[in-house]
Amino acid sequence: MVFFRGLSALSRLRSRSAQQSSLGTSVRWLQMESSSDLDLRSQLKEMIPEQQERLKKLKSEHGKVQLGNITTDMVLGGMRGMIGLLWETSLLDPDEGIRFRGLSIPECQKVLPAAKPGGEPLPEGLLWLLLTGKVPNKAQVDGLSAELRDRAQVPDKLYKFIDGLDVTAHPMTQLSAGVMFLQVQSEFQKAYANGIHKSKYWETTFEDSLNLIARLPALAAYIYRRIYKEGQFIPMHDSLDYGGNFAHMLGFDNPKMHELMRLYLTIHSDHEGGNVSAHTAHLVASALSDPYLSFAAALNGLAGPLHGLANQEVLLWIKSVVDECGENVSTEQLKEYIWKTLNSGKVVPGFGHGVLRQTDPRYTCQREFALKHLPDDPLFQLVSKLYEVVPPVLTELGKVKNPWPNVDAHSGVLLNHFGLTEARYFTVLFGVSRSIGICSQLIWDRALGLPLERPKSVTMEWLENYCRKAATS
């Protein structure tokens, strides 16, 4: 079966990855145990000078080393495969999938603190890992949870501002607008106006980033309750963790839903720097725009159908299969529906990826969650059947480099099972999660003094002339 072949390949990759990750040079400053009891800000302050020197040495000793050749296909094809920016918090391998500071998703599930024994990792733990490269202990994560709760208070006028928007506006439009409204509270913007030295940029960026991460769940939950629950707002719980509190404010107090939200926020947080939302934030922030401006821009990119909006399209497509073929759809019926989708000029949502060439590990961990908590859910069983049927069809089509499922292929079905059925809202969850990775990198952008991004663009005429000269030389 296709599914088990994919899992077998994934197991071999995990084994190989474990061997690679044991090399000290692969993740030079990742420490599996925290070496200090300092709080998060203090740990960063202690680490930054070393990383600044590391970057300076890299530039002085290897600044002229070529990292590859740029082809016309890359220029015309969305810069795919072109190495062009520094992103410290995660790295995406086409075969292995994402690694957060050198750790795979299964490794993160194993070593990051959880709300309960054997539970899913707490997103606060991943935030600590992304920022420091160190695995925090439970006390450090609990302390960070408390700090985020303290930072989470938002002014009432934010809610009044959201109420002034058309209730039919897409939830992502409302989320982006809300982040822009909060921008007036930017510590970086105020400090820059007062002439702060550039060596201190990271400090106010840190404050803005943690404030933004902390306040997003309340804003996002308010948008959800306003649109779908007649405006019945649920306040933050004074002792729940980040993921649990977000689920609670949305209106879900099933412990399994809390666990799902912790997993969701963790695995969607970061996917290196070249994707639309991450790259957008990095680009905008390189102009010294503060984290609110940069993240609002990222959200607008995430809202596109070829990026974050795909997760809502997956669930809608799966439900269209059920509407036309029934829940007990046969393999042949499913193949016919897939071909019908492809022949209409559409894609099968949730399959394929711009970088990955294997099953997305984020899909795999969600499947494992479903097998544990909702094995008999009809839509989950349909997702499992799609895993067997879609890849061979896409391979037969011959135009798809990666026929395997990505993260979006599974998340909507899990959310739907626990009652979050409003697919139009799903990308907001993605946005809240992505703040953790984007804001972590923005802090390091300022700490390392990364410059204004300004790549070179060319015209088709320039390309034609250059290629003609290259052909005759």
Residues designated catalytic: 307, 353, 408
Residue 385 identity (one-letter amino acid): K
Alpha carbon separation from 37 to 47, 138, 155, 243 (Å, rounded): 14, 11, 33, 24
d(CA 282, CA 284): 6
* Strand-pair category, 97-100 with 90-93: antiparallel
Question: Of 418, 130, 84, 443, whose CA–CA distance to 267 is shortest?
Answer: 130
Element (H, E) at 6: helix 2-21
Contact 383, 318 (CB under 8 A): yes
d(CA 314, CA 363): 13
Name residue 97's beta-bridge partners.
93
Question: Of 306, 246, 276, 307, whose CA–CA distance to 124 is shortest?
Answer: 246
Residue 409 makes CB contacts below 8 A (sequence gap 6+) with: 314, 349, 350, 351, 360, 363, 383, 386, 387
Question: Of 185, 229, 169, whose CA–CA distance to 428 is shortest?
Answer: 169
Question: Of 257, 248, 267, 273, whose CA–CA distance to 409 is shortest?
Answer: 267
- Which burial class, exposed, middle or buried, applies to 33 when counting CB atoms under 10 A from its CB (0-12, 13-18, 19+)? exposed
- For residue 123, the 8-state DSSP code is H
- For residue 453, the 8-state DSSP code is -
Backbone angles phi, psi at 463, to 5 degrees: -60, -45
Name residue 103's beta-bridge partners.
100
Residue 432 makes CB contacts below 8 A (sequence gap 6+) with: 216, 217, 220, 246, 265
